[in-house]
Amino acid sequence: MTIRQAAAKVTRLLTCLALLFSVQPSAAAAEVRIKDIADVEGVRENQLVGYGLVVGLNGTGDRLRTAAFTRQSLIGVLERLGVNTRDQEGRLDTRNVAAVVVTANLPAFARAGSRIDVTVSTLGDATSLQGGTLLVTPLLGADGEVYAVAQGSVAVSGLVARGAAASVTRGVPTAGRIPNGATVEREIPFQFAQGQSIRLSLRNPDLTTARRIAAAINRQAGNFVASATDPRTVALSLAGREPISFLAQVEQLRVTPDQVARVVIEDASGTIVMGADVRVSTVAIAQGNLTIRITESPQVSQPNALSNGETVVTPRTNVEVDDQAERRMGILRGGVTLEDLVRGLNSLGVGPRDLITILQTIKAAGALQAELEVR
């Protein structure tokens, strides 16, 4: 090997080592901004709801003979437009109209004249809102006041196609959205400068995280301005500070959030999610199922041609028993990490459904040092 080849080899080795150390997890990688884990108390969305009509449907609306609320609403709309249909109420038989519920979220600090998205959902027996237009619909808040007015063309992602002997439905054609479909008419007042303090609300309550947030703010401010009052709340003292500038600095501070060791199981779908701090005490695990498979393969015996014999069916039954005797008991040592736990359970050859049962049994035995949440 020449000197040049040796130098090239050393260079490649140093490059690989540099890449290896560059991908190692660091403490800073686990830090997040305060704005991503906490909200300012009082700054939130408000739910709006309204009742309206969608018109222009291609025969996929409500049946007026069975949907009385749709018929009454249609008559009321026509009367407001100067069309009298009271005498023809029994003859209304259109399927181009559907009664809908309109919902929206009013963001914090939304000003009059700004636009928000709305969601439209059918109430009656309409089969699709494709191609429909929502008529003017007031949206009410929890106090009964009108905060926005919605109107516009409904965008539906689902579709339905029907024939004489078959039909195809994709998605949900009875619900849709109207982007920027509502205009805000009333504002919800909120001012930061109303008091001398502001409180931050943690999205995932944790006492350690709350104390870390308060400590980070105090280091930045240079004095004691923040204190954790409970696992969810951190109180900030304004003390003559300009609220917007102060909060803008606070939300950019980075902390390392803590979390409770938890295992979440979604039993319906077989999904299992485990936190990084899940630990298991020393425990022995054996898992196996008894499977009995019975197969019927009857044989037919037919007589020769022009003979007086009879056709006879001879039953043949094959019974197989699988007790999974090849599976052995496995031992998980105490204090194993999440990676060791998953590797050990996978070595037993268990699937997600069996893994759910094993985790529940480990918890019942007191060996799972984490919260077990089954949904």
Burial label for 61, CB within 10 Å (0-12, 13-18, 19+), is buried
In the chain, the N- to C-terminal Cα span, in Å, equals 64
The pLDDT of residue 17: 35
Residue 170 CB neighbours (<10 A): 10
pLDDT band at 117 (very low <50, low <70, confident <90, very high): very high
pLDDT at 3 over 60: no
Average pLDDT over residues 102-119: 93
What percent of the chain is predicted at pLDDT more than 90?
30
Greater model confidence, 374 or 305: 374
Highest mean pLDDT pick, 162-171, 241-250, 336-345, 354-363: 241-250
Compute φ and ψ for 337, nearest 5 degrees.
-85, 175
The pLDDT of residue 66: 83
Greater model confidence, 45 or 288: 45
Domain map of the chain by residue range?
46-184, 191-255, 263-300+313-374
336 contacts 330 by C-beta, under 8 angstroms: no
Q: How far apart are CA 262 and CA 69, in angstroms?
A: 48
The pLDDT of residue 118: 96
CATH class of 191-255: alpha beta
Q: How far apart are CA 11 and CA 14, in angstroms?
A: 5
Compute the mean pLDDT over every residue in the chain, rounded to the nearest whole number: 78
Residue 109 CB neighbours (<10 A): 10
Question: Is beta strand 226-230 parallel, antiparallel or unpaired with respect to 197-202?
Answer: unpaired
Q: Pick from 30, 33, 170, 52: which is nearest to 104 by CA?
A: 52
* Residue 341 identity: L
Highest mean pLDDT pick, 22-31, 151-160, 346-355: 151-160
The pLDDT of residue 202: 93
The pLDDT of residue 318: 65
The token pair at 274 is 């485990």
The pLDDT of residue 285: 64
Among 45-59, 100-114, 309-323, which is the least confidently predicted range?
309-323
Greater model confidence, 269 or 297: 269
Question: Is beta strand 97-106 parallel, antiparallel or unpaired with respect to 146-153?
Answer: unpaired
Q: Give the DSSP letter of residue 336.
A: B
Q: How far is CA 69 from CA 75, 93, 101, 153, 358, in A?
A: 10, 14, 12, 22, 53
Burial label for 112, CB within 10 Å (0-12, 13-18, 19+), is exposed
User: 0.85 exceeded by the pTM?
Assistant: no
Average pLDDT over residues 120-132: 91
Question: Is beta strand 371-374 parallel, antiparallel or unpaired with respect to 262-266?
Answer: parallel
The pLDDT of residue 25: 44
The pLDDT of residue 337: 63
Predicted confidence (pLDDT) per residue in 225-237, tens digit: 899 999 999 999 8
Among 6-10, 67-71, 75-79, 254-258, which is the least confidently predicted range?
6-10
The H-or-E segment that residue 173 falls in is: none
42 — alpha (psi -120 to 50), left (phi > 0) or beta? left
Average pLDDT over residues 195-208: 87
Q: How far apart are CA 13 and CA 6, in angstroms?
A: 11
Predicted confidence (pLDDT) per residue in 50-104, tens digit: 999 999 998 889 988 888 888 888 888 888 888 887 766 667 778 899 999 999 9
